[in-house]
Each structure stands twice: as structure tokens, then as C-alpha cells.
Structure 1
Amino acid sequence: MNTQNQIQEYIATHADQKRSDLQTLHELMLALMPQCRLWFLDGKDEHGKVVSNPNIGYGFQTINYANGKSREFYQIGVSANTVGISVYILGIEDKNDLAQKFGKDLGKASVTGYCIKFKALKDINVDVLKLAVQYGIARSGGAC
């Protein structure tokens, strides 16, 4: 199954409101990053053990670790969780940036170093979320 089909299947597994919000976010990310690589991670490790929620990724970056190893990964991620949705904005070096620059204007969302978590899209200012995503893309090199 190709990545786009995996993403659509993942979105379809959720209840009405979350499914609608995930589809809207997917379309938003595709509009912001139209030529970028799509990812789908099922949340399982190489042994088939569930280690995270499934997530959709957009873009491309190389993460360099302190031990000298590197890994290809996405720039922006979207994932459903038990209470709502998480948007991951990776590649921002200062872990206070998201909260300081966007936290107060997002609405009902919690913001950590690289994650914006909210219950439903209706609870946040989507225009501010777009700005946060664009900020993250620029900070991670803007590559697709």
C-alpha cells in the first residue's frame, strides 16, 4: 500500500470529529508543503511492538545525533492521541521558541519544545498554527 493510501486509511479509522480535523490538517499541510515528501509511520518498531501513536509526516530533514549518527525524518508530523491531536514541528533548536512565539495566540493548546497539542481544531486559531508550521519549516532548512 502506498503512503497516501496508508494516510487515508489511518484518517478513516477515527471518529467523525477527529477524522474531519485530521483530514483538514492533512490538506493544510499538503497546501503548505505541496512538493514535499509524505511519510506514514504506523507507530511500531522493527519488532512490531507499538512504541508510539501512528503519525503522518511531511517534508524531509536529516537529524544529526551527538553520537555522530544521522537519520532521515520528517519536518512536520500530525498524530491523533487519546485526547485530541498533536502537531510536531521538528528542527527548531531553541525548545522555547514555539511556546514563546505562538503559544498565547494558539487558543486552547499546550505547546512544548516541538509539539502543539489540542483537543479539536475548533479550539485553536488555525492561522497561528499555519504560522508555527511555516516557522518550523524555515528553521529546519525548508527542504522537502
Structure 2
Amino acid sequence: MDTAEKIKAFLDSLSEPKCAEMQVLHTHILQLFPKAKLWFLDGKDETGKVVTNPSIGYGQYTIHYKDGSTKEFYQIGISSNSTGISVYVMGLEDKKYLPETFGNRIGKASVTGYCIKFKTVKDIKLDILDEAMCYGIKHTDND
């Protein structure tokens, strides 16, 4: 099964209304970043134990660790959780930028240094979410 098929199977496995919400967001992000690499992480570690919620990722950047090692990862990620949806903007150096720039403008969402969490897409201003995601794509290492 390729990544797009895994994403479809994951979205189809969600109950309503979460399935529809995640599908709307996924389609929207694909339109915003049509050439972005797609990722699907099932939330399991190498032993098969569930350690996090499954996530869909978009784009690619290199994480540089202090020990000199690197890892390829997505720039933008979305995940369904028990209280709503999380959008991850990965790789930003300034952890105050998202909350200070978008926290008061995005609508009913909590905004941290890398995560924008909301109950439903209707609770947020999609154009402000777009602005935050575009900032994340522009300001991460695309090597």
C-alpha cells in the first residue's frame, strides 16, 4: 500500500464527524502545497506499540540533532485526537512565533511553539491557518 492509500484507509477508519473534518483539512493542504511529499505515520514505534496518534505529513525537511545525526521529517502534520485536530508546524527555531503571531487571530484554537489545536475546522480562520503553515514551509530547511 502506498502512502496515499494508507492515508485514505486512515481517514476512512475515523468516525464522523472527525472523518469529514480531517478529509476537508487534508484536501485543503494538498491544494495549498500540491508538490509536497506525503507522509503517513501510524503512531507505532519499532516494536509495534502505539506511542502517539497517527499523523499525515506534508513536505520534507532535515532535522539536525546535537549529536550530528540527521533525520528526514515532514514540515506540516495533521493528527486527529480525542478533543479535535492538531496541526503541527515543524522545525521552527523561534518557539514564540506561532503563538505570538497567530494565537490571537486564528479563532478558537490553542497555539504553542509548533502545534495549533482546535475542536473543529469551523472554529478557526482557515486563511490564518494557511498563513501559519506557509510560514512553516518557508522557514524550514528544505535541503
TM-score normalised according to structure 2 size: 0.96
Q: Give 1:62 shift.
A: 0.4
Identity among equivalent positions (%) equals 52
Q: Give 1:131 shift.
A: 0.6
Aligned to 2:51: 51
Runs of 4+ in structure 1 over 3 Å off: none
TM-score normalised according to structure 1 size: 0.96
Superposition pairs of residues 69-84 of structure 1, within 5 angstroms = 69-84=69-84
Q: Give 1:33 shift.
A: 1.2
Superposition pairs of residues 27-42 of structure 1, within 5 angstroms = 27-42=27-42
Q: C-alpha distance in 1, partners of 2:87/2:76?
A: 7
Aligned to 2:101: 101
User: Structure 1 residue 16 and structure 2 residue 12: aligned?
Assistant: no
Structure 2's unaligned 5+ residue stretches are: none
Q: Give 1:95 shift.
A: 0.3
- Letter of the 2:91 partner, please give it: G
3-state DSSP of counterpart to 1:91: coil
Q: C-alpha distance in 2, partners of 1:12/1:108?
A: 26
User: Structure 1 residue 125 and structure 2 residue 125: aligned?
Assistant: yes
- Letter of the 1:47 partner, please give it: T
- Letter of the 1:136 partner, please give it: G
Q: C-alpha distance in 2, partners of 1:29/1:61?
A: 17
Range with bigger deviation, 71-80 or 30-39: 30-39
Range with bigger deviation, 80-89 or 24-33: 24-33
- RMSD of aligned alpha carbons: 1.1
Q: C-alpha distance in 2, partners of 1:60/1:53?
A: 20
Q: Give 1:126 shift.
A: 0.8
State how many pairs are aligned. 143
Q: C-alpha distance in 2, partners of 1:36/1:130?
A: 15
Q: C-alpha distance in 1, partners of 2:70/2:39?
A: 18
Q: Give 1:20 shift.
A: 1.1
Aligned to 1:140: 140
* TM-superposition CA deviations, 1:35-83 (whole Å, max 9, x none): 1110000000111011110000000000001111110000000000110
Structure 1's unaligned 5+ residue stretches are: none
3-state DSSP of counterpart to 1:137: helix
